[in-house]
Amino acid sequence: MPANRRRGEIAAIIAGRDCVLCLTLGALAELETAFGVDDLGALAERFASGRLSARDLTRIIAAGLRGAGAAVSDDDVAGMTVEGGVAGFARIVADLLKATFGDSGETRPDP
């Protein structure tokens, strides 16, 4: 199934497989809880800082995969690989955040 950017979906190759990721409303609520913030504005600000840990990248990618219907845990994602290593994961997160929040130029984590 190809990704539909109009629905906030992106395509990525994770663990050698074509994947679709989407931060649905439920996935965003999950991330609000994980990051300890009260609303989407605070969540967007957290992402805009560009200071995301490896665990943050794992949480965001896992939530995006679950939002698109995959049955994966954060621990499953932590054991996966992508081309480019950590920088590859950061690019996937940046693309997913751009698809979700728009391109304000502030939601890109440093690779």
Give residue-wise pLDDT tens across range 20-74: 999 999 999 999 999 999 999 999 888 888 788 999 999 999 999 999 999 999 9
C-alpha–C-alpha distance, residues 25 and 20, integer Å: 16
What residues contact 81, with CB distance under 8 A and at least 6 apart? 14, 15, 16
CB 55 within 8 A of CB 64: no
CB 109 within 8 A of CB 57: yes
Phi-psi sector, 47: left (phi>0), alpha (psi -120 to 50), beta: alpha
The predicted model scores a pTM of 0.88
